[in-house]
Structure 1
Amino acid sequence: MFSVARLRRALAPLLLLAPALVHARDKVLFTSSVTYCEPPESLLIEQFDIAYYDKNQSIVFNISAASVDPNTNVVANLFLNVYGMNPVNVSLDICSLFGGALCPLPLYTFNGADSIPLPPSVDIASHLPGIAYTIPDIEAFAQLTLTDVKSGAVKACVQTTLSNGWSTHQYGVEWATASIALLYLALAIWQSVLDGPLALAPIRLIDLLSLYQSIALSGLLGLNYPSIYRSFTLNFAWAFGLFPVTTTSPMQQSINRMRHLTGGDMNNASDSGATSFVNRKLSPYNSVNYVLPEALSTSLSSLHTDLAGFSERFASSFSSSAFSPQVLVGGDVATVTDGSSNVLQAGIPIYTNSIGIATANAFMTIFLTALIFAAIVLGALGLAYAIPFALSRTEFGRRHPAIAAFRAQYPSFARAWGIRAALVSAMPILVFTFYQWTLNDSWLSILLSVIILVALSTILLPAAFFAVRSSLPVHKWSTVEPTSAVAPFTAPYRPNRVYYVIPLLLVMSIKALVTAFGHAHGMVQVIIFVVLEFLLFLSLVILKPHRTRGADVLAGYLCLTRLVCSGLMIAFAESLAVKPIPRVAIGAICAVISGAAVVVMFFNILVNMGLWRLFVYAVTCGRRGGRRAHTALSSQPPSDPSLGEKAGDLEKRDKDNATVRTGPSQYFVSRPNNPSPPSTVPSTPLSSTSSTTLGETLPRRWSFQHSRPPSVMTDALHSPAYTHRTSTASSPISGQRHSRNISSSLPTPLEEPSHPHPPTSPHAHPLPPLPPSPQPHRAV
């Protein structure tokens, strides 16, 4: 106990440091993007970085700007929008600041970076609630408008979005979800080699990737998503074949050149990201009435603050050099207005540009990713064939016939995994192929989209037909069994429910068509999604197509997750004009529901890997009670085929291990879980002269196999009380020694031996063997 106490004293300081680690990040708000909201006339900006720290009430700035219009007297309006609310909307008299140094605006080039503590009179903290520093993907922007005092014309308008550094889009989440998928892939390959076409892990791998793709697809609709949910869906963009890139990446530059050489004229992706180009009616701007302030000079209200304390410090940061023409470029700050052609609309444009991919480059990015993926799959399949081929020519391969058996079934194995790869790629290819047809940007991109669509259909449609034809109500196909090459379609479902593949493929195609061609009608898109998911869930409840009840429950849970999230996303429709804060709350709920489904699939892989059984074994310390509990659980219907096969093997071993109690003149056979004979069996034996202790006579399908009697060298009185023996009905030895030839539908009653010991004469003939019966029987 002394060592434990010392350990507790050592850990106590670490526990005290926990709150400090949680609050180690400073409460800060900073500008995340800068754009002109009107074409600049008097003010040009190259860099505009401002951060506010709540800890010491200070502002850190790094600004590069220039005033280029002489003799300009302006008034400034500072406008702050936070989730559609306007906590700050003030006008400043520029001429009253800094002793009139800024009236008229001097021709200055301002390049400065500094940290300035705000005076007590500037109380920014009272306008900002504490949640503004912690809520992820905050939706806020500030707008500075300079208006000419005389004419009222807008001389400059600058908008900056604000951020606190927290977001639901995290690279750690991307790597975690990808790691789960890779772990599932390794388990799926291992089980498909050992367990054959009905292995469970490949089925769950498709379910996992379909869940990832459904989350990513939910962010591609033409809806006004809150920033928190849009960022969450970006964590699963890799499952759609979209990986975060920069505009200077060789792939994106090559796609840009190809498009412009083949008739493409759409804009490329911007270096500053997608936020600054988002339609101002959408999040994070939430400016429904995007109208610049009018007649600021007539409604001027001064901000009563004492700025004289640091006016000299501010003025010293200006450089008094005259204006030079080099500053007129305006840097990378873009002009984004309602009529601009570079405004990103809801749906695919905002989604792809958020990870550095231009809207017109989306399909070509998917196309190249699909080619790379196909090359990896073909290379892996070729390597998987080369290794057993090389081993089969060695002494090791000749000693292990399983290698030759794997080579024999490898064509079906390779075709099955090729179909799985096509299934994983189907949804992204369909969505962006159809969307490319709506752009009319590059004729080469359209041609390649047609080619890849035909190739995908060639792989999936014939395989789906060969899989479902035996389950269709057509007499000529009713006896045709599908091959193991189409196991991705047949393995998840019961043989008479394989046709359930048809509605699944139809739902996938309809979703792709609605996402691509209905991008301007977000409400219609989400309603169709809700109807499809409801019909799919209803079909699951009615048909119960999967092989086990657990598989039906899991599929129903995933379908219900998609249905609930699709229903909640109706609030994101622009036509409903739901307030930003309720939309954010609904977006957070959708993210939590989808994230819970990912966690459920993660625990599902742990169970399929056998870690649950290992946990049970560790908890019970390998005691017999733990094994008995596990045996009892295995007798219940399993949740997957692989566990069902193992439980069946365990039950078979328990039934075959009959406990035989030997005595002078009789054998007592104890068989666990032995069903009682039918009630129609006569209660008296056929022959009244024969006697037996084996109970009532049974129909022909209840055949008996007796355990081996004690040896002549063993005294029956001193033989052990229990003898364990495993017997199988197909064993030739057991059939020769312990079976009787049955010539009628009912077994002949057995006679007791006349002496307690079996005959020891070397001329004693063994019992005749039992001929093979076409009917099932049970072993005792």
Structure 2
Amino acid sequence: MFARIARLRFLALLTFSSLTAARDDSLFTSSVTYCSPPETLLIQQFDIAYFAKNQSIWFNISAASVDPNVNVTANVMLNVYGMHPVNFTVDLCSLFSGALCPLPMYNFTGSDSIPIPSSLGVSDKIPSIAFQIPDLEAYAQLSLTEVNTGVLKACVQATLSNGWSTHQVAVEWATGALALLALLSAFFSSFTPGTLAPFRLFDLLYLYQWTASTALLDLNYSSVYRAFTINFAWAMGLFPASATSPIQTSINNMRHLTGGNMADATGGSAVALVNRKLSPYNAMSSSTFSASSDQYAGIGTENLWASYNTSSANYVSDISVASVQELSAAGDVQLVTPSSANVLQAGVPIYVNSVGIATANSFMTVFLVVLMIAATLLAVLFIGYCILAATSRYRRRTGGYIADWHHRYFSFARAWLLRVCLIVFTPVAIFAFYQWTLKDSWLSIFLSVILFLAVVGYILYSIVLVHRLALRSAPSELYTQPDLLASHGPLYAIYRLERFYATTPLILAIFVKALFIAFSQVNGVVQIVAILVVECMVLASLLVLRPHKSRGADVLATYLAITRVLCTGLMIAFLENLNLGAIPRVVIGIVIAVIISVAVIVMFINTLVNMGIMRLVPAHYRRRPGATPGGLDAEKGAENDEKDWRPRNPTPERNIPLDPDVNQPYPDSPSQTLTDHQSVYSEESGSTTLGSLLPRRWSIQQSQPSNRSRSNSQSQYSTSQSNYSPSRSNYISNASSPRQSIPPSPLHTQSQSHSRQPTIDERPPFP
């Protein structure tokens, strides 16, 4: 019966093998609801658990029978991932010598442990994977039907759990600690222009928010994936709360005073109110509410009760106390039928109620969180300004540095305000739009409009300012104006000059996805197709534009975009219209969770690299062949330095033409300076005169001197040429004192008009 469940063994054991040994294998009720209006049987509490260690049942039941003279048959059905391995009907009149026929009218309250006889073979019908797979999708249903009329007198459903779930408080704290680490790194790195940490903060939080937003669609998610996404609910401003928390109570009071009439959050588990067509119930039709088979009637339930008197207390001692304490109480038992108004539909209702927040309270919770973030930002910026102002009054040696920061501080503050607006844009857009569809409280709608306009208005103002300046003058102006780069740099500073607009497609994509998430809640096909198209367009823009300054940054952005496209495509399997089996949906949910987990690990490593963790590695291990010291930024191994992107070879990539007026041979006489240029290469001699000394400025006179003076100057010029020193110092000395008398050299035996030109070996070095 459970053969198909065995296919989940590998994935479950791979992920949770280290944890399963610390807990007793058990199945217990996680929620209890009526599946039909109670007429005969009233239940206040119904907790039951099965322990595989000693094959015993522990129960804690409080119930009452209120209808006299009722003879009923009991149908017990077990639904596991849409299958029915157990489905039998028992005539209660045949049990206990007719003590339960008719049903006695009294209150029954009790808690104890009962051993199960091995003859029933319960352990053989429950595979070991059922105790290890996280977020088990199973429930038990008890139906009481009147014998004579066939009328359903009572129906109770209890979801089952094994205690394992992909939603772990430790994971929430770990992801939060990573975000805090990235925030601190971004804050301290923002004092240095050109660093990557402030930009990676947005990438990390957007990954968290995108993961949570994938569970807000009208899809039949597997329970394991829905529980996994709850780990990132805090990134959307949805911190786990209880129905009686002060914040949720205040929001409820505000809504009810301003026209709100929607239900508050339930005190029990939200799983109890989930639509029965969705996980974990997987009941595709309402036929499961009635008894469907009596093939297991008289299965031997008498033996179960007959063996109860045989030292039942011994079974309790074998079970750890912690296992019993972890069993979830059912709480208030509510009536949930296919036509009930309190049924939670797929998307936002199930998700927010799973963290203890009512559907109508979702936006107001996000609103209060955004206000807290804004207040914290303003307080930090105000304290920083006060410290800067106080320091500037007593500045001495650091006066220039303090004055410079005093001038740049407001640009620094505007930059962080823009970063915060970009971070909160996703949850504000989604839940503000969704609040408009509820039409619950006029004050909630008004506040949603104000917050949405404030966040979107500042982002649009920055985008328009940047694009207008780039179109009016040139994109280079965006990078040459320090104040603009410091205040609006979060939009374009990470991109190349010609790709300054690369952030705009991402912001537009977030806005479009928020529209489909909020306004297409009744059509999951439209949602998933539209969001998949948007994610593909974002990926295509990254592949075509390649906007970042380094290849590593393009690779990281493309990897995150591929992750979003791949996971969104896999979620097509969650469409209700496909009627895909529960087990394939669970496998796909685990695969998506693994892909997202790998992306989170990549961002964790990236955050450590941005913090300078690579500096702890010896230089000869982290320096690549041919790389220059200091040529990489903090993001080594992931991204190249954005500032040191110049070519490593200083040789020009093309030949630079030389000025023909400069590259000329040394003239034989000053008169040649006024004649045509001669060739620098002689075919007869095969020698070149490139690099010869240029004529001195003093040899060129404004007026025409006499022939005698001209002859004397030529003689002096020729003499000074022949007496240079090969050293740089002598060359500079001769050039700096052109008028001093230099005795003629015996080497010069040629005439003044045919003075010898220096050879290559005799030429002075280039100064």
Q: Do Structure 1 and Structure 2 share a fold, with TM-score over 0.5?
A: yes
CA contact (8 A) 1:137 1:167 kept: yes
* Residue identity matched to 2:276: R
With structure 2 as the length reference, what TM-score do the two structures score? 0.79
- Encode CA deviations 1:663-710: one digit per residue, 9 max, x unaligned: xxxxxxxxx95569938559996335899xxx9769xxxxxxxxxxxx
Q: Deviations over 1:98-125 (max 9, x none)?
A: 2222111111211111122211122211
Q: Which amino acid aligns with 2:37?
A: P
SS at match of 2:617: helix
Query: Which of 97, 117, 124 is equivalent to 2:122?
Result: 124
- Distance, in Å, in 2 between the alignment partners of 1:761 and 1:113 is 107
Partner of 2:44: 46
Corresponding residue for 1:70? 68
In 2, the alpha carbon distance for the partners of 1:513 and 1:430 equals 8
- What pairs up with 1:317-396 in 2 under 5 angstroms? 332-395=332-395
* Backbone CA RMSD of aligned residues: 3.5
Q: In the superposition, relative to structure 1, how do residues 336 and 293 fare at CA in structure 2: closer, same or farther (>3 Å)? A: closer
Higher relative contact order at CA 8 Å, sep ≥6: structure 1 or structure 2?
2
1:58 is the counterpart of 2:36: no
Note the 1:663-702 alignment, pairs <5 A: 678=655, 686-688=664-666
Whether 2:141 is the aligned partner of 1:170: answer: no
> The residue matched to 1:146 in structure 2 has which SS?
strand
Q: Greater shift after overlay, 499-508 or 359-368?
A: 499-508
Tell me which structure has the larger Cα radius of gyration: 2
Relative distance call for 1:477 and 1:547 in structure 2 (3 A) is closer
**Equivalences for residues 502-517 of structure 1 within 5 A:** 502-517=504-519
* Cα separation, 1, equivalents of 2:589 and 2:168: 17
Q: Quick one: structure 1 residues 19 and 415, their matched pair in 2 at CA, closer, same or farther if it must change by over 3 Å?
A: closer
2:534 maps to which of 532, 535, 541: 532
The CA distance in 2 between the partners of 1:606 and 1:139, in whole Å, is 38
Residue 149 of structure 1 deviates from its aligned partner by 0.7
Task: Sort the Cα spacing of 1:82 and 1:689 in 2 relative to 1 into closer, same or farther, 3 A.
Answer: same
1:215 corresponds to: 211
CA distance in 2, matches of 1:439, 1:103: 49
Cα deviation for residue 429 of structure 1 reads: 0.8
Does structure 1 conserve the Cα–Cα contact (< 8 Å) formed by 2:116 and 2:304? Answer: no
For 1:240 and 1:342, how far apart are their aligned partners in 2? Answer: 24
Distance 1:359 1:295, change over 3 A: closer
User: Quick check: 2:41–2:65 contact (8 Å CA) kept in 1?
Assistant: yes
Corresponding residue of 2:442: 443
Letter in 2 for 1:366: V
The answer on 1:754 being equivalent to 2:725 is: yes
Q: 1:492: Cα distance to partner?
A: 2.2
Identical aligned residues as a percent = 49
Residue of structure 1 equivalent to 2:584? 582
CA distance in 1, matches of 2:272, 2:732: 101
Q: 1:405 to 1:294 in 2, by over 3 A?
A: closer
Letter in 1 for 2:64: A
- Conserved 8 A contact 2:610-2:634: no
Aligned partner (choices 180, 183, 190) of residue 178 of structure 2: 180
Structure 2 distance, partners of 1:611, 1:751, is 63
Cα deviation per residue 1:323-344 (whole Å; 9 max; x = unaligned)? xxxxxxx971100001111000
Map 1:293-312 → 2, pairs under 5 A: 294=290, 301-305=297-301, 306-310=303-307
Closer, same or farther in 2 for the Cα pair 1:39/1:177, shift >3 Å? same
Deviations along 1:188-223, whole A, 9 cap, x unmatched?
111111x22x32111111111111111011010111
Q: Partner amino acid for 2:665?
A: S
Contact persistence 2:635–2:641 (CA under 8 A): yes
Task: Tell me how far 1:311 sits from its aligned partner.
Answer: 5.4
- Per-residue CA deviation, residues 389-427 of structure 1 (Å, 9 max, x unaligned), is 2222224x6435322211110111100100110111111
- Whichever residue aligns with residue 146 of structure 1, its letter is L
Which residue of 276, 281, 298 maps to 2:277?
A: 281
Aligned position for 1:557: 559
1:564-616 deviations in whole A, cap 9, x for unaligned?
11111011011111111111111111111111111111111122122124224
Distance 2:653 2:85 in 1: 81
Structure 2 CA distance for aligned equivalents of residues 611 and 639 of structure 1:
9
3-state secondary structure, aligned to 1:233: helix
TM-score (norm 1): 0.78
Confirm or deny: 8 A CA contact 2:476 2:497 kept in the other structure.
Answer: no
1:35 to 16, 33, 36: 33
Q: State the 1:301 CA deviation.
A: 2.5
Identify unmatched segments of 5+ residues in structure 2: 1-15, 314-329, 669-679, 681-688, 693-720, 739-765
- Report deviation, 1:448: 1.1
Supply the AA of the counterpart residue of 2:572. Answer: I
1:298: Cα distance to partner?
Answer: 8.1
1:471, 1:496 within 8 Å by CA — same for their partners in 2?
no
**Residue type at the aligned position of 1:541:** L
Aligned counterparts, 1:263-278, within 5 A = 263-278=259-274
Name the aligned partner's letter for residue 349 of structure 1.
P
> Following the alignment from structure 1 to structure 2, what is the Cα–Cα distance between the partners of residues 492 and 224?
39
Describe the SS at the equivalent of 2:239: coil
Give the secondary structure class of the aligned counterpart of 1:409.
helix
- Larger CA deviation: 106-115 vs 427-436: 106-115
Q: Which moved more, 1:306-315 or 1:497-506?
A: 306-315
Counterpart amino acid of residue 333 in structure 1: V
CA distance in 2, matches of 1:381, 1:181: 20
Aligned positions of 1:147-158 closer than 5 A: 147-158=145-156
Check conservation: 2:143, 2:290, Cα contact below 8 A: no
Q: For residues 691-730 of structure 1, what are the structure 2 equivalents within 5 Å?
A: none
**1:265 partner letter:** N
Q: Does 1:488 align with 2:486?
A: no
Tell me how far apart the structure 2 counterparts of residues 308 and 53 of structure 1 sit (CA, whole Å): 17
Residue of structure 2 in register with 1:609 after alignment: 611
> Any stretches of 5+ residues in structure 1 without a counterpart?
1-17, 317-329, 621-625, 652-671, 699-749, 768-778
Q: Whole-Å Cα distance in 2 between the matches of residues 82 and 199 of structure 1?
A: 52
Letter in 2 for 1:686: Q
1:66-115 superposed Cα distances (whole Å, 9 cap, x missing partner)? 12222111100000000001100011121222222211111121111112
**Alpha carbons 1:221, 1:519 under 8 Å: kept:** yes
Q: CA deviation at 1:270?
A: 0.3
**1:273 Cα deviation from its structure 2 partner:** 2.2
Is 2:75–2:291's contact at 8 Å kept on the other side of the alignment? Answer: no
